Chains A and B, each alone.
Chain A
Amino acid sequence: MSEITVELKTPFEYAIKGENQKAAFITLSAPTFKQIDKIAPIKQAFVSAISDLGGGSDDAVKPEPGEAEDITGPQVMAILYQSKGNMSQVFLYAQALFKDVALVDGEVKLTTPLMEKMDIADFERMLGEYLANFTAPSLMDGL
């Protein structure tokens, strides 16, 4: 899976081909090494969050075989929010990452001004789905 789409619950307006139109979805492509400086701190925050939830014990949050692939975006965000980590820093890394890997309606780069127009819930869902699809499975298998 090299890309996923996230439907927007609250569409925002963006410019395309000389007109303004409402965005319906965001296409997210898998990270490459080019984005390592942005994805690595987010992965680190996610691993720390799992560790926080487990209270440091080895077997507290160990997924069953096959469970790792089933983790959902909302679950990822819940884990992150329950951790002691700095979520605003995670969102800043996510913003930098999405400038590289996200396309509005699969066509137009998701720039910072466009992200600032996005509903917070949509942005959280986007981050959650990204981690659930592209980073969580490999990380959970290794825990």
Chain B
Amino acid sequence: MANQLNDFTILVNNQQIAYTADSLSWKDGFGEFKVRNAVVGGGQTEQVFSKDLATKFGMVKFSMPSTAENESYKRAWKVSENDNVVELIGPNGSGVTKIFTKACILEDPETNASQDGNIDIEFNSNPAQ
């Protein structure tokens, strides 16, 4: 029986973060690949493969409840520019750990002040280690 990976621990700059359930997602940062065809004649083609290195960056996205502590984290991460490190640790026994170095928040993160409001965070970083 396989278990769904939905109980990750998030560490940002060595601090454990309490985040909103089911809000975590990430991209490892393999980058996008492209293929096109070159004509070799006689109706034949040859595949040309290339890697789009410009898209080779990691991404970690999650939401966290709009608390004073999380608001303060958000500010600190934004101010740190790309000097953040995000670590995702999978559930016990999963063996999944991902480290995203040089992580920065590109956008101006929005805080929702409603009763069940969240702060949406998206880090862009080096590819996952």
Decide whether A and B assemble into one complex: yes
CB contact list, A106-121 vs B, under 8 A: 108-109, 111-114
Instruction: Give every chain A residue within 8 A of B87 (Cβ-Cβ).
Output: 15, 20
Are B16 and A15 in contact, with the CB atoms below 8 A?
no
Are A113 and B14 in contact, with the CB atoms below 8 A?
yes
Contact of A18 among B14, B15, B16, B103 (CB under 8 A): B103
Residue B84 lies at the interface, judged by CB distance under 8 Å to chain A: yes
Instruction: Give every chain B residue within 8 A of A14 (Cβ-Cβ).
Output: 14
Instruction: Give every chain A residue within 8 A of B14 (Cβ-Cβ).
Output: 14-15, 108-109, 111, 113-114
Residues of B within 8 A of A (CB): 9, 11, 13-16, 80, 82-85, 87, 99, 101-103, 129
The main secondary structure of chain B at its interface with chain A is strand
Residue A59 lies at the interface, judged by CB distance under 8 Å to chain B: no
Q: Which of B13, B84, B102 has the most CB of A within 10 A?
A: B13
Are B11 and A113 in contact, with the CB atoms below 8 A?
yes
> Can you sample 9 A-B contacts with CB below 8 Å?
A15-B13, A19-B85, A20-B101, A108-B14, A109-B14, A111-B15, A111-B16, A112-B16, A114-B14
- With A and B bound together, what is the CA distance between A104 and B27 in angstroms? 30
Residues of A within 8 A of B (CB): 14-20, 108-109, 111-114
- With A and B bound together, what is the CA distance between A108 and B12 in angstroms? 13
- With A and B bound together, what is the CA distance between A109 and B16 in angstroms? 13
- With A and B bound together, what is the CA distance between A20 and B84 in angstroms? 10
Instruction: Give every chain B residue within 8 A of A20 (Cβ-Cβ).
Output: 85, 87, 99, 101, 129
Closest to A111 in B: B14
Instruction: Give every chain B residue within 8 A of A112 (Cβ-Cβ).
Output: 16
- With A and B bound together, what is the CA distance between A20 and B11 in angstroms? 12
Q: How close is A53's CB to chain B, nearest CB, in angstroms?
A: 38
Instruction: Give every chain A residue within 8 A of B99 (Cβ-Cβ).
Output: 20
Q: How close is A20's CB to chain B, nearest CB, in angstroms?
A: 6
- With A and B bound together, what is the CA distance between A19 and B129 in angstroms? 11
Are A113 and B101 in contact, with the CB atoms below 8 A?
no
Q: How close is B126's CB to chain A, nearest CB, in angstroms?
A: 9
Instruction: Give every chain A residue within 8 A of B103 (Cβ-Cβ).
Output: 18
- With A and B bound together, what is the CA distance between A68 and B15 in angstroms? 38
Instruction: Give every chain B residue within 8 A of A18 (Cβ-Cβ).
Output: 80, 82-85, 101-103
Additional pairs, 12, CB under 8 Å, beyond known A15-B87, A19-B102, A20-B99: A15-B13, A15-B85, A15-B101, A16-B85, A18-B85, A18-B103, A19-B101, A20-B85, A20-B101, A111-B14, A113-B11, A113-B15
Instruction: Give every chain A residue within 8 A of B84 (Cβ-Cβ).
Output: 15, 18
